Structure formats: C-alpha cells, structure tokens
A = this chain, B = another copy of it.
Amino acid sequence: MLDSHDPRQNHLLAALPEAEAEHVFPHLELVPMPLGHVLYESGVQMRHAYFPTTSIVSLLYVMEDGASAEIAIVGNEGMVGVSLFMGGDTTPSRAVVQSAGHAYRLRGQWVKDEFCRAGPMQHLLLRYTQALLTQMAQTAVCNRHHTLDQQFCRWLLLSLDRLPGNELVMTQELIANMLGVRREGVTEAAGSVQKAGLISYHRGHINVLDRAGLEARACECYAVVKKEFDRLLPYRPAPGRTTDETGAAASLSAVHSAPLPLRKGEKA
C-alpha cells in the first residue's frame, strides 16, 4: 500500500486547472479518516470541507428513534460539506466515515471565499452539487421501488467506484445501517450474491469477483447515477503522471464552460 498522497487523487481537485490548483493546494490539509469518525453532526456548523482520496464518507440521516438511512455517498469523486458554499452552513444530516482512509480538507471560510471568487472552483462545486442532487433523488426512488438485493448491489458498486482497488472492508452490520435495513437482510442479500459468484465475503472483507454481474443484478439506479456523474464531472486521469508539477492534464474539460452533451430523454 502506497504511503504517498496527492490531492489529485481526489477527482474534484484533480479537475482544477493548473493556475487554480496552485492557488488552492497550499491550503489543503491531509487528514486521516478513521472508520466511524463523524465529520459533522446534524444541525451543527461545519468547520471544514473534506475531499476524500482513499476514504468513503456517508451522508446519513438519523431519525428520532435511532433508525438511519444513507442519503448519499462521497468518495474520491467529490467533497463533503456542500452546504458551506450553498449558504446554509449546516444540514439536517450527519457525515460519517464509512471506509477508513485519508482526505484533504479546507477550512470552511476558505471554501466560501474561494467559491465567491466565481472561478473554476465554483463551477466545479456547483456541478458536483448537482450530481449529488441526482444521487439523492435516485436513492429516494430506489428506496421506494427496489428490492434489498438490488439495493445491495447498487450500494456495492457505488462504493467500489469511489475507492481504489476492488475490495471493500465493511461489515454487514454497517451496510445495514447505511441502507436502513436489518442486518439479517444484508446477510441474506450478501449470501445470495455470493452464491451467484459475484462477490466473496469473508468477515468484513468483500471482494468483487464479477463486476459486470453486479451491474446486471443492480437496479437501474446505479447506472443513472453513474452516468450523471460522468456527464457532469467527466474525470480523466492524467496518463503517466501523479504528483509532478507539469500541469493540469487531468481536467474536467467542462469546467471551462464547454457545452455539455445532452442525453436524450425518454420519450414522453
């Protein structure tokens, strides 16, 4: 496992043009993200925005009776703390580290100031926020219509997309909390998916054996969210470069106001 860290492991940060990156990166602080760590609590002013690199954060809502449900999932493709620049400062949800790793963070005030400069960073963050909107919307739809089995696959894929490698360290109990279902339900779904040969599950370690199979088993929600993220934030990793100074080959072309491709809609 590499010990080297680079802000560009986060897709949003990697998407900044060189000039902007030089402006932003010095303010980044690398922080460890231990499992279960709460980045912010419902209704509490948040101090930092987090850009995960090797960690995953869940945004979840905890009800009065203690039951919970995941609202969105944030990994190396995004950031935690959009309400900082959206103007609300807080949200009614909680952000919890769901998979340990690292993240870069920025002071809240700095994010606000940077956002107000109305540069590439602003466009980027807004686009990301819209992608987040889509993810939340699809979560609502999925919760309404799809079986636990499908949701389990969707969740697995979403998590996998936000981490390097194809192993997840995750107990069934945790997954159940995220999905807002019983632990036994996850046991059953996981067992069934394992029996189908798509994953191997061993005491908190999930290995994905057949990604295509998972995608086929998941509901359409996964594809919709992924497609929308790709459309809004077309990440293109810099070939052959990681931490050097040569520039911004990794970029979101769209940030520079290129017109977006229109997806054709379903017919009315």
A binding-site residues for B, Cβ under 8 Å? 17, 19-20, 23, 38, 41-45, 59, 61-64, 67, 69, 71-72, 82-83, 85-93, 112-113, 116-120, 123, 126-127, 129-134, 136-141, 143-145, 180, 220, 224, 227-228, 231-232, 254, 258, 260-268
Contact = CB atoms under 8 A, between A and B. Distances in A.
A263 B141 CA distance: 29
B19 A130 contact: no
Nearest to A83: B130
Contacts of A112: 260
A207 B93 CA distance: 33
- When all copies of this chain in the complex are counted, the total is 2
Contact of A116 (B38, B86, B261): B261
A63 B17 CA distance: 37
A247 to B, nearest CB: 14
A183 to B, nearest CB: 15
A250 to B, nearest CB: 18
A87 B43 contact: no
Given A266-B42, A267-B19, A87 B118 contact: no
Enumerate the 6 nearest inter-chain pairs by beta-carbon distance, A residue then B residue, closest first: A43-B265, A140-B140, A143-B143, A86-B130, A43-B263, A44-B265
Contacts of A118: 116, 118, 263-265
Contact of A261 (B19, B59, B64, B113): B113
9 contacts: A20-B267, A42-B266, A44-B264, A63-B141, A69-B141, A71-B137, A112-B260, A118-B264, A132-B133
